[in-house]
Amino acid sequence: MTNITATAEPGTAARYGAGAEAPAILDDERGVIPLLLAHRSVRAFAATPLDEDVVPTLVAAAQSASTSSNLQTWSVVTVSDAGHKDRIATLAGDQDFIREAPLFLVFVADWARGRSIAADAGAGSEGIDFLDSTLVAVIDAAIAAQNAVVAAEALGLGAVYVGAVRNSPGELSDVLGLPRGSFPAVGVAIGHPRADVRTAVKPRLPQSVVRHSETYRAAESAEIAAYDDTLREYNTSQGRPRAWTDAVVERVRSADALHGRDLLRGILYSRGLASR
């Protein structure tokens, strides 16, 4: 039997910030919800190698995720070789934590397999050329990646998503040997967190901003301002003081903020994903 917990539950308070009103949540007999609430991005990894069974465990967890119509339009490339990680890191924002992590996973939106199956059956594959098919593969890959991250954290490991694998997706596809009809959707660096570098749980927007009852309600400026204060305090504690709205404005102000991802539509087309 599940019960509503007190709103002061520590994991919930951390997720929304010390000064914010924390929602009531349900007890979880398996401990999954507290694990989800405790998620934090880890960008500093110890040199400790991973158990050989970690990769098959994470992939099994990823494969247990929901997938559109059971089409399973994703694949994952596991990378542990130092030289290979270095090449990937250079293309993905030149981020050292990719080099330091013992394992880097690249989740691939993959219609190459489906196109091959159709060809073997003597059928066309026009349906792959449409935007919805691209979205299906990206969503499949993202859901699978999330399962892998939750599994990694359940094993006591740390992880961080890397969207920068889309900075140079054409070149990275060549490095990974990806066939036409596929492209890197998101990367995940995984390893044992360094004990001397501890990141905190990052507060999220209050539920009053993201949760809409029946119809959409635009957030009030006071709600955004209050969250700005909460996140500015968190960011200051992490040594990078700035407000949330500053990050939003910086990300949307121009194409330059996309770091090459503004060219993604053309790259998708060249890789056999017309997305029309």
Domains and CATH numbers, the chain: 1-38 (no CATH), 54-195 (3.40.109.10)
Encoded tokens for 109: 């939106």
For residue 21, the model assigns a pLDDT of: 78
For residue 199, the model assigns a pLDDT of: 84
- The whole-angstrom separation of Cα 15 and Cα 221 is 21
Confidence of residue 23 (pLDDT cuts 50, 70, 90): confident
For residue 148, the model assigns a pLDDT of: 98
Q: What is the pLDDT of residues 214-261, one digit of tens each?
A: 999 999 999 999 999 999 999 998 888 899 999 999 999 999 999 999
For residue 198, the model assigns a pLDDT of: 80
Q: Is the pLDDT of residue 7 over 60?
A: no
Q: What is the pLDDT of residues 94-139, one digit of tens each?
A: 999 999 999 999 999 999 999 999 999 999 999 999 999 999 999 9
For residue 4, the model assigns a pLDDT of: 34
Q: What is the pLDDT of residues 45-99, one digit of tens each?
A: 999 999 999 999 999 999 999 999 999 999 999 999 999 999 999 999 999 999 9
pTM of the model: 0.93
Encoded tokens for 222: 């006071």
- The whole-angstrom separation of Cα 85 and Cα 100 is 9
- The whole-angstrom separation of Cα 150 and Cα 156 is 10
For residue 18, the model assigns a pLDDT of: 74
Q: Is the pLDDT of residue 8 over 50?
A: no
Reading across the β-sheet that carries 158-162, which strands appear in turn? 74-79, 103-110, 182-191, 158-162
For residue 10, the model assigns a pLDDT of: 60
